[in-house]
Structure 1
Amino acid sequence: MPTTTTYLTTREVADRLQVSPTTVRTLVATKGLPTYRLGNRLRFVAAEVDAWARARGSRSVDTAAAPASETDDYRAEIIRLVDTAPTLTAAQCDLIRAVLGSAPVAQTQ
């Protein structure tokens, strides 16, 4: 049975995180708050916002707002993806570190 995703507005995310809508837009631009653009508007998936906030230790997330089954499905999918992911080579790890800014990219010839 297909599931439907309910998208939150910037105002709803601001209320959920107990910040202003301007701060939500800043979090999207600078801190990686997951978002989707629908036209010129930002939309958010509640489970993704909650997971993002929990990963940063936020206590302002209204966990009652996200249905448990949606959160459990999301976690199960992440666990499945991690468990089936191939092991990275040392070169791949170095490249990821470089892209994320923790090490310079070594040129290979």
Structure 2
Amino acid sequence: MYLFLQFKTECPEEVISGGDYKQITYCHLLLGLFFSDQVEFITSAFAYSMVQAFSSFEELWREICKDIRDGTLSPRIKSPKMRKAVLDVISPNPTLASKLEGAFQEVEEVDWFGIHLS
């Protein structure tokens, strides 16, 4: 796990330092949701990165929820190190997946930036 002074992330180093933006983004989204009860804030050096992540999320949320439900990782993640690191920290969580799916289905047709998971 990566520790930077006062900031801690639940994201493994293999994801943080991975080379493929799409794979990294998918893993960040998956892990952020999987550990959502521990997430206090989301930050990025560039606003564009946040916009890209939310745009990707709109397309990937069903697949991410399936991975959370089953404790699996999408075949779109090709890096063996990244796959192992993520699979080492997740496990099946059908309850969380159902909660997330319900929230995302409600806002899918309305306004993605109005998501509230609490």
Normalized per residue, the structure richer in strand is 1
TM-score surpassing 0.5?
Answer: no
Question: Greater helix percent: which structure?
Answer: 2
Q: Which has the higher contact order (CA 8 A, sep 6+)?
A: 2
TM-score (norm 1): 0.30
